[in-house]
């Protein structure tokens, strides 16, 4: 009887050992254990919001996709207000906001990725080289309506303003201490590129856009020029060194603390690995 029990135990031990080997809990020396690795990131990210930030995030998204081929990053514009609304309502995984966050947006998680400035643009051949803050306010409120009154040619000024919900509008109005109802505009535009095209196509127009966008387009031969503000040249460099008076943080935002794919993308967008993209887009990295 004892011999029968002993043999039974030996057989059970052998069976258990075989099970453990098959299950991966142990392997014979002749067969090295397999390394179990997590699946690479995959899925789709929908990112909506600020048109200022969209080209940068789109380029970061392309590089992110090249690292993780199973990921797709869909970037859509519509203004910072859309970015906030879509993030809150769950219509987007990540929102884009090209300004400081407001007090009533503290429920959202904001992650800065770069800085930018807002600059005033006119047609390249406009003889006006500089405007004082008071002159800008007078032009936008309809008190000055002809370029000759600020050192230019005898021609009516076409005032180009941004549409409601655009953070560039909010930053511009805040700096010049105006309300949007005070503005007497002939043309209302949406994104920065539309503003650039409008001024480039109208010799007597004045508008304001992202400095990064304007610098990039100037280098591509678009006939516009940036005017100084407060006596400071409008450029990426003056935004970088903190002397340009109209600058803003560029944020990506989420409704809840990001996890998974969204967190991986935000971490990447905040890393030094994308500083070259940020500079190529004429924005300022947060840390050099």
119 φψ region: left (φ > 0), alpha (ψ -120 to 50), beta (else): beta
**53 Cα distance to chain centroid:** 3
Where do the domains of the chain lie?
Answer: 43-115+249-280, 117-240
The mean of the pLDDT values for the chain is 88
Is residue 79 within 8 Å of 189, Cβ to Cβ? Answer: no
What's residue 287's pLDDT?
A: 72
Considering the domain delimited by 117-240, tell me its CATH architecture. 3-Layer(aba) Sandwich (3.40)
pLDDT of residue 165: 85
Q: Check if 43-115+249-280 and 117-240 are the same fold.
A: yes
CATH architecture of 43-115+249-280: 3-Layer(aba) Sandwich (3.40)
Reading the block at residue 152, the tokens are 């230019």
What is the predicted pLDDT for the residue at 6? 43
pLDDT for the residue numbered 186: 97
Instruction: Give pLDDT tens digits for 128-154.
Output: 999 999 999 999 999 999 999 999 999
CA distance 75 to 88: 17
pTM to 2 decimal places: 0.75
Amino acid 39: pLDDT: 52
Q: What is the dihedral of CA 272, 277, 281, 282, to 10 degrees?
A: 40
CA distance 210 to 188: 16
Tokens of 199: 């001024």
- Taking 70 as the pLDDT cut, the residues of the chain under it are 1-39, 288
């Amino acid at each position: 009887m004892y011999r029968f029990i002993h043999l039974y135990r030996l057989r059970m031990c052998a069976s258990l050992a075989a099970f453990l080997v098959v299950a991966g809990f142990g392997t014979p020396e002749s067969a090295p254990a397999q390394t179990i690795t997590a699946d690479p990131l995959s899925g789709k990210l929908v990112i909506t919001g600020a048109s200022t930030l969209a080209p940068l995030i789109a380029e970061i998204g392309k590089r992110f996709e090249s690292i993780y081929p199973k990921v797709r990053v869909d970037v859509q514009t519509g203004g910072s207000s859309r970015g906030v609304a879509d993030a809150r309502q769950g219509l987007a995984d990540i929102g884009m906001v090209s300004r400081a966050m407001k007090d009533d947006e503290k429920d959202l998680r904001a992650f800065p990725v770069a800085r930018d400035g807002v600059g005033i643009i006119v047609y390249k051949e406009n003889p006006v080289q500089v405007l004082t803050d008071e002159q800008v306010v007078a032009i936008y409120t309809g008190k000055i309506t002809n370029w000759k009154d600020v050192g230019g040619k005898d021609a009516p000024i076409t005032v180009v303003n941004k549409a409601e919900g655009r953070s560039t509008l909010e930053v511009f109005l805040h700096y010049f201490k105006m309300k949007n109802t005070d503005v007497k505009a002939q043309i209302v535009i949406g994104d920065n590129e539309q503003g650039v095209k409008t001024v480039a196509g109208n010799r007597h127009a004045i508008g304001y856009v992202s400095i990064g966008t304007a610098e990039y387009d100037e280098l591509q031969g678009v006939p516009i020029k940036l005017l100084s503000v407060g006596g400071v040249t409008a450029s990426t460099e003056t935004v970088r060194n903190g002397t340009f008076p109209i600058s803003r943080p560029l944020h990506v935002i989420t409704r809840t603390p990001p996890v998974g794919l969204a967190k991986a993308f935000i971490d990447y967008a905040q890393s030094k690995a994308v500083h070259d993209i940020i500079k190529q887009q004429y924005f300022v990295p947060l840390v050099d």
